[in-house]
Structure 1
Amino acid sequence: MLKTRISLLALGLMAATQAMANDQAASKGFVEDSSASLLLRNAYIKRDKKHDNNDQMQWGQGFIAKYNSGFTQGTVGVGVDAFGLYGVRLDGGSGHNDAPGIDFFQRGETSKNSPHDISRGGAAVKFRVSNTVLKYGDQMPSLPVLQHDDARLLPESFTGTSINSKEIEGLELNAGRFTREARKSGEDRDTALKSINVFGGSYKFLPNLTASLYTSDVEDVLKKHYLGVNYVHAIAKDQSLTLDFNGYKSDIDKEYVQKAKLTGDSNTIWSLAATYAFGPHSVTVAHQRSTGSTGYQYGWYQDKGGVGDGGSTIYLANSYWSDFNAEDERSWQIGYGLDFGAFGVPGLTYSVAYVRGDNINTHGFGEGTEREIFNQFKYVVQEGPAKDLSLKVRSSFLRTSDSVRENGYNDDGNELRIFVEYPISIF
């Protein structure tokens, strides 16, 4: 059914009156428009738990190489995208890698040891007509209902078919069907994903108003629908107010409810954030609410009991270390950001946020609460031989009520992340 819809969508868009410049007509060629890059990523994450001995720590060096060809000239352009990933474990053996939260290097099922290095590659062939691109192969989708995880050492990837169309000015449409997911911490591409179908798009109604609507169907797991609205109001030359709404509605298959031992088969979760920016400062206030018979489900891998729709498929305001996505949870955030460029240090930024969640349904253990303090410094070198090299230091302090810990939803802990990244443009 979705394959038919994708085909009809592609044909309709290709035949539509074009309201934008024709990208394919401007193609310079397969080689002439090609690019290659290498990202060096040194990543460290440490999590200290307060009520058990299951502390976690991983440190690794990653190499993320990407090649994107141009398109051949003519009515139908043909091209290739490819990537190669390599990660080296610098520290964090079997004694520190006993949980999925960090997941730099997958532990062996029997040995419980982490590999010293991992590597993986992938490629996709692409076709372009006008401003519509059809791609088949290994990809890293970035959609609200299918967002690959790139917040660890190496990124996830999915194998399948996707269509991206920008035929009408301000309108972007996406559709796809993916049948395989590659874990970010291993070399095995088979994580038991049967299929995930995605469809939706975004439209810029005004220069400062954009809305997105997406839906997905993860076979034998759940159906998910997403709505996002972003509005930016300019108050003065250096002042603005941004309103950002994100919401998901999930209908979960009965079989998956039993398999994952969930408390129910439905969830609706949404967040609304308001950010007031003035000069180098920004202040954010956000509210997030989860309702339904279970918490919001996303990510992880189906062979481990997860959903399989990408480890970053949570476009919500209060998602830091904790996602504040438990059953019936309500959470509030107050945040602050500072750009030190106004004080003579361009490239240096700081952000801090406090989030508190309550009303968590712990099913017999009493009302659950949790709170988190998040801090992050980031510095990007602005010029010289190390231009674009970035250093990001992030910490979180998470505290939960006894009822939340007894229920098994979350636990107290302190987290530290240090990421050093250096992007190199090869050509």
Structure 2
Amino acid sequence: MRVMKWSMIALAVAAGTSQMAVASSQDESKGFVEDSKLNVKMRNLYFSRDYRNAETAANRANRVRHDQREWGQGFIGTFESGFTQGTVGVGVDAIGLLGLKLDSGRGYSGTGLFPTGSDRRSQDDYSKGGAAVKFRISDTVLKVGQQFTALPVFATDDSRLLPETAEGALITSNEIKGLTLHAGRFTALNAQAETNHDSLNLKSANVLGGTYLITDGLSTSLYYSKVEDYWRKYYGNVNWSVPLSDKQGLVFDFNIYDTKSDGRGIQRAEKDGTTKLDNRAFSLSGAYNIGAHTFTLAYQRVTGDGDYGYGVDGGGTVFLANSVARSDFNAEDEKSWQARYDLNFAEYGIPGLSFMTRYVRGTGANTATSDNGKEWERDIDVKYVLQEGPAKDLSFRVRQATYRSSDGVYYGSGSLDELRLIVEYPLSIL
């Protein structure tokens, strides 16, 4: 279950506008080595999940406990070269990922932090990596190879120890002021806790779309994707920020997906007796900021046939307001609402400290066991980032999620508690 980060759209727009100067990005290239960057993010993650029920017969047979907990250390290395000078710039990017198990025992595995063997034990370590070659003309970049993606119709997930990686080609163009365009084709997707190539069995995904900054406070996005043997998707977004004063403002955000089974996805559904996807999933949120405080209300709805589907096109491909820590609230016919509160302690003299809590409730879900499934989730998130000194940017984070489904249509028992303790330190080497 992935959380939609609204800032991603703002960052995409900013990327499109920041590069629009008199000279193009390629004209200002300093060279392959001169513009190179080498970064390593060290992530220490403890993950605990408790289903809050007695061991079932299936769990006992597989020696799996109802409570899972694992602890690991991850290293996420990224190298980004500059571009050679000239009309066409050439460069290389590389990704290196390493995960080390610090604590986990048989029966406690399955959190998604590590690959798990047939004996239900997590591997002691795992690694993966890849590289991409890139070309730039003016303000347009073509990147071919292993990469991370953050498109609303194809987004790699980074919610565990190591992130997903995608393999393919992506064009990003910022030739027109305020407009960022994307076009790409991906042929492999590697899961977070897997090392084998294309572990998510992606045959191909074609994507096309862009984001346009209409005014300083109003942006819109439109994307299309087609995932072979699964579905085609359309995605739309409108984001509108309204400043009320120096310390007050409103932000409205609307997201919508239209998904329909395609090709063998239709044949597979007919063969398995499952629902062919033909649905719309949308969310509308409004946030009010006053000083250190932000209050957010959101509504989400799924209509049509089937749940909103994603995963083979990236575990982060769910840019909906109520896709939160544990649940996405994306079942067929489901309606959900959210109340959220954020506090920035910088206003009280503690820069780097932030707090968030939210409550989401869903009703009317059509599932295999109920035509009126209900679920709710409460999340708490506290984060502190060191602002200065030799350990500047070192962050400490506590994430707690409480999930319940009264009729037990989700996660077996319908009860689940999660705790994540995360320490991250980004190290810039070049």
Global fold match (TM > 0.5):
yes
1:400 Cα shift?
0.5
Unaligned runs of 5+ in 2: 1-19, 56-65
Please give the alpha-carbon distance, in whole angstroms, between the structure 1 residues aligned to 2:223 and 2:272.
25
Deviations 1:8-44 (A, max 9, x none): xxxxxxxxxx986311011000000111111100011
Are 1:326 and 2:331 matched, yes or no?
Answer: yes
Please give the alpha-carbon distance, in whole angstroms, between the structure 2 residues aligned to 1:285 and 1:237.
22
Larger deviation: 342-351 or 409-418? 409-418
Out of 196, 210, 213, the residue aligned to residue 204 of structure 1 is: 213
Corresponding letter in the other structure for 2:307: G
Deviations 1:296-317 (A, max 9, x none): 1111xxxxxxxx1111111111
Deviations 1:109-142 (A, max 9, x none): x333221000111100000000000111111111
Distance change in 2, residues 1:119/1:47 (3 Å): same
Out of 46, 49, 54, the residue aligned to residue 47 of structure 1 is: 49
1:186 Cα shift?
2.0
1:70 Cα shift?
0.3
Q: Is the 8 A contact 2:51 2:413 kept in 1?
A: no
Task: Tell me the equivalent position of 1:129.
Answer: 137
Q: Secondary structure at the match of 1:402?
A: coil
Q: Is the 8 A contact 2:287 2:295 kept in 1?
A: yes
Task: Tell me the equivalent position of 2:317.
Answer: 313
After TM superposition, list the pairs within 5 Å mapping 1:383-422 onto structure 2: 383-402=388-407, 404-405=409-410, 411-422=414-425
After TM superposition, list the pairs within 5 Å mapping 1:109-124 onto structure 2: 110-124=118-132
Please give the alpha-carbon distance, in whole angstroms, between the structure 1 residues aligned to 2:299 and 2:424.
32
After TM superposition, list the pairs within 5 Å mapping 1:22-37 onto structure 2: 22-37=24-39
Corresponding letter in the other structure for 1:222: W
Are 1:257 and 2:269 matched, yes or no?
Answer: yes
Please give the alpha-carbon distance, in whole angstroms, between the structure 2 residues aligned to 1:93 and 1:364.
33
After TM superposition, list the pairs within 5 Å mapping 1:54-65 onto structure 2: 54-65=66-77
Distance change in 2, residues 1:261/1:153 (3 Å): farther
Corresponding letter in the other structure for 2:47: I
Task: Tell me the equivalent position of 1:223.
Answer: 232
Deviations 1:176-227 (A, max 9, x none): 1111111211211132211111110000000111111111111001111111
Task: Tell me the equivalent position of 2:427.
Answer: 424
1:360 Cα shift?
1.1
Structure 1-normalised TM-score?
A: 0.89
Please give the alpha-carbon distance, in whole angstroms, between the structure 2 residues aligned to 1:26 and 1:354.
48
Q: Is the 8 A contact 1:94 1:107 kept in 2?
A: no
Out of 74, 88, 103, the residue aligned to residue 76 of structure 1 is: 88
Larger deviation: 364-373 or 58-67? 364-373
Distance change in 2, residues 1:131/1:412 (3 Å): same
Deviations 1:376-405 (A, max 9, x none): 001100001110001111111111021524
Larger deviation: 350-359 or 187-196? 187-196
Q: Is the 8 A contact 1:183 1:189 kept in 2?
A: no
Task: Tell me the equivalent position of 1:10.
Answer: none
Corresponding letter in the other structure for 1:316: L
Distance change in 2, residues 1:179/1:63 (3 Å): same
Please give the alpha-carbon distance, in whole angstroms, between the structure 2 residues aligned to 1:240 and 1:209.
14
Please give the alpha-carbon distance, in whole angstroms, between the structure 1 residues aligned to 2:50 and 2:274.
27
Please give the alpha-carbon distance, in whole angstroms, between the structure 1 residues aligned to 2:147 and 2:171.
12
Are 1:276 and 2:288 matched, yes or no?
Answer: yes
Q: Is the 8 A contact 1:20 1:168 kept in 2?
A: no
Larger deviation: 366-375 or 58-67? 366-375
Percentage of identical aligned residues = 49
Corresponding letter in the other structure for 1:267: N
Q: Is the 8 A contact 1:334 1:355 kept in 2?
A: yes
1:409 Cα shift?
7.5
Q: Is the 8 A contact 1:365 1:403 kept in 2?
A: no
1:103 Cα shift?
1.1
Deviations 1:74-124 (A, max 9, x none): 0000000001110001122341224xxx3111212x333221000111100
Corresponding letter in the other structure for 1:398: Y
Please give the alpha-carbon distance, in whole angstroms, between the structure 2 residues aligned to 1:190 and 1:370.
33
Are 1:95 and 2:98 matched, yes or no?
Answer: no
Out of 345, 351, 355, the residue aligned to residue 350 of structure 1 is: 355
Please give the alpha-carbon distance, in whole angstroms, between the structure 2 residues aligned to 1:20 and 1:240.
32
Please give the alpha-carbon distance, in whole angstroms, between the structure 2 residues aligned to 1:40 and 1:336.
29
Task: Tell me the equivalent position of 1:5.
Answer: none
Please give the alpha-carbon distance, in whole angstroms, between the structure 1 residues aligned to 2:416 and 2:120.
23
Are 1:147 and 2:135 matched, yes or no?
Answer: no
Please give the alpha-carbon distance, in whole angstroms, between the structure 1 residues aligned to 2:73 and 2:246.
43
Structure 2-normalised TM-score?
A: 0.89
Task: Tell me the equivalent position of 1:3.
Answer: none
Deviations 1:147-168 (A, max 9, x none): 1011110011111111000000
Corresponding letter in the other structure for 2:319: Y
Q: Is the 8 A contact 1:242 1:276 kept in 2?
A: yes
Corresponding letter in the other structure for 1:75: T
Please give the alpha-carbon distance, in whole angstroms, between the structure 1 residues aligned to 2:272 and 2:163.
25
Distance change in 2, residues 1:120/1:339 (3 Å): same
Please give the alpha-carbon distance, in whole angstroms, between the structure 1 residues aligned to 2:282 and 2:113.
30
Deviations 1:388-427 (A, max 9, x none): 001111111111021524xx68821111111110001101
Q: Secondary structure at the match of 1:374?
A: strand
Task: Tell me the equivalent position of 1:302.
Answer: none
1:261 Cα shift?
6.0
RMSD over aligned Cα, in angstroms? 1.7
Q: Secondary structure at the match of 2:409?
A: helix
Corresponding letter in the other structure for 1:279: G
Corresponding letter in the other structure for 2:414: D
Please give the alpha-carbon distance, in whole angstroms, between the structure 2 residues aligned to 1:246 and 1:294.
18
Please give the alpha-carbon distance, in whole angstroms, between the structure 1 residues aligned to 2:349 and 2:155.
36
Unaligned runs of 5+ in 1: 1-17, 300-307
Distance change in 2, residues 1:204/1:409 (3 Å): farther
